[in-house]
Amino acid sequence: MNFVVYKVLIDNKNANEIEVSLDDDLEEYAWQDLENLKSLKLTPPSVELFTKLGYI
């Protein structure tokens, strides 16, 4: 299975101004600073992606 990764930069709004829709596959969300990614429990695909992108 292949996934397409999209990176969207929103520089004209704060995180608390962005409406997030929770659907069947997403029960909760939390905005995180990139510096916090190393301390979060991430799925293996997320670890692979964030490592590839240089975030962790």
Ramachandran bin of 50, using left for φ above 0, alpha for ψ from -120 to 50, beta for the remaining angles: alpha
Number of domains in the chain: 1
* Residue 38 domain boundaries: 28-56
Tokens linked to 32: 């995180």
* Residue at 4 is within a domain: no
In a domain, 46, yes or no: yes
Token pair 């962790």: residue: 56
Cβ count within 10 A of residue 3? 7
Specify if 52 maps to a domain.
Answer: yes
Would you say residue 20 lies in a domain? Answer: no
User: In this structure, is residue 6 part of a structural domain?
Assistant: no
Question: What is the pLDDT at residue 3?
Answer: 67
28 vs 2, 20, 39, 52, CA distance in Å?
24, 10, 18, 25
Q: What is the pTM of this model?
A: 0.60
pLDDT tens for each residue of 1-36: 676 667 778 889 988 898 888 887 778 888 888 889
Identify whether 9 is part of a domain.
no
Asked whether the predicted pLDDT for residue 56 surpasses 70, the reply is yes
